[in-house]
Amino acid sequence: MNTPLIAAIEAGGTKFNCALGTPDGELEITERIATTTPEQTLREVVAFFEYAEKQHGTISAFGVGSFGPLDLHVKSKTYRFITTTPKPGWQNTDLLGPLRKHFDVPFGFDTDVNSAALGEHTWGAGRNCDPLIYITIGTGIGGGVLIDGKPLHGALHPEIGHLYIPQVISNAPQPDGICPFHGSCIEGLISGPAITNRWGAPAESFPPEHECWGEFATLLALGLVNLTLTLSPQRIILGGGVMHQAHLFPMIREEVQRLLNGYVYLHELADGIGQFIVPPGLGDRAGILGALALGIEALNEVRQN
């Protein structure tokens, strides 16, 4: 049997990253499509995959990791829709509908961050880690959780970016958080735009010694400690644009240890902390490779049944 071709889509608020890949994690062809209106964006996505199919061969499955919130309840009428997103024009969007009209194959679908967690679990820094948490800190903050290697959904799906954390005294010119829903939730305080807004300049412009990073490490560590105590993860992967600041990793690890204050002895939280809080092994490709992994799982499920 020929190696199957899987279509992967990382659906983001700025762009849709599209690719064709194989079950060993190789990407054959990739394309970026701007996120405009659902009609236009999805038309271009369909056109790309029709072209890709002509060039490379029949697509066997799709994997889609998307911004949300998403409806992931199998029995819901709006199953697999984007629901209450703040992104204008994208509320209640049937993302898969137009694709399914053109491609009659199995579809895997999950949040962008559950998908990135799956990519890291399959090929990256999260191999053999259970539970695994993947958090991205960029334009927003999002987190995915895998338990037994499967994305956690539950009543909704994890929305780690909107955790409330304790207030700390801040020297920021604008100390309050900017989340339109919660003000000072973690996204409201330390996403890229939150840093820019609260500290008065783009996050990438601050040198490593700037006090904004000490505050960042404390606030993020508060969130990570709460997650660690709740979910007992074996590893936490931190990705996204802001985490390109590599000096943050040792600061965050130290803060997590300081806040835990020796409660529970665990190798992962002591000498092993360098392997507990880590950057993505797949770099900025975690999302698209995660979508590929979702597609592979969808194909395997159909083949097993």
Which spans of this chain sit near ligand ADP (rule: CB under 6 A)? 12, 14, 138-139, 192-193, 202-204, 240-242, 244-245
Whole-angstrom distance, CA of residue 95 vs CA of residue 97: 6
Q: Three-class SS of residue 15?
A: strand
162 touches Zn ion (CB under 5 A): yes
Q: How far does CA 204 lie from the centroid of its chain? A: 20
Q: Which is nearer to ligand ADP, 106 or 144 (CB)?
A: 144
Q: Which is nearer to ligand ADP, 139 or 184 (CB)?
A: 139
Q: Are 172 and 212 in contact (CB under 8 A)?
A: yes
Contacted entry of Zn ion, ligand ADP, none for residue 185, CB cut-off 5 to 8 Å set by kind: Zn ion
Q: Which is nearer to ligand ADP, 17 or 60 (CB)?
A: 17
Residue in 181, 207, 246, 305 binding Zn ion, rule: CB under 5 A:
181
Stretch that binds Zn ion, among 101-109, 162-170, 248-256, 283-291 (CB under 5 A): 162-170
Q: From edge to edge, which strands make up the β-sheet containing 141-147?
A: 150-151, 141-147, 132-137, 235-239, 277-278
Contacted entry of ligand ADP, Zn ion, none for residue 179, CB cut-off 5 to 8 Å set by kind: Zn ion
179 touches Zn ion (CB under 5 A): yes
Contacted entry of ligand ADP, Zn ion, none for residue 256, CB cut-off 5 to 8 Å set by kind: none
Q: Which two tokens stand for residue 299?
A: 């194909």
Stretch that binds Zn ion, among 7-15, 108-116, 159-167, 239-247 (CB under 5 A): 159-167
Instruction: Report, in Å, the least distance between residue 191 CB and Zn ion.
Output: 9
Residues in CB range of 203: below 8 A, 6 or more apart = 192, 195, 196, 212, 241, 242, 245
Contacted entry of Zn ion, ligand ADP, none for residue 268, CB cut-off 5 to 8 Å set by kind: none
Q: How far does CA 255 lie from the centroid of its chain? A: 23
Burial 40-62 (b: 16+ CB within 10 A, else e): ebbeebeebbeebbeeeeebbbb
Contacted entry of ligand ADP, Zn ion, none for residue 162, CB cut-off 5 to 8 Å set by kind: Zn ion
Q: Which is nearer to ligand ADP, 139 or 170 (CB)?
A: 139
Burial 259-277 (b: 16+ CB within 10 A, else e): ebeeeeeeebbeeebeebb
Q: How far does CA 69 lie from the centroid of its chain? A: 12
Q: Are 241 and 137 in contact (CB under 8 A)?
A: yes
180 touches Zn ion (CB under 5 A): no
Q: Which is nearer to ligand ADP, 103 or 199 (CB)?
A: 199
Instruction: Report, in Å, the least distance between residue 6 CB and ligand ADP.
Output: 22
Contacted entry of ligand ADP, Zn ion, none for residue 192, CB cut-off 5 to 8 Å set by kind: ligand ADP
| H or E stretch at 196 | helix 192-199
Q: Which is nearer to ligand ADP, 88 or 262 (CB)?
A: 88
Whole-angstrom distance, CA of residue 193 vs CA of residue 86: 15
Q: Which is nearer to Zn ion, 122 or 184 (CB)?
A: 184
Binding site for Zn ion (CB under 5 A): 162, 179, 181-182, 185, 187
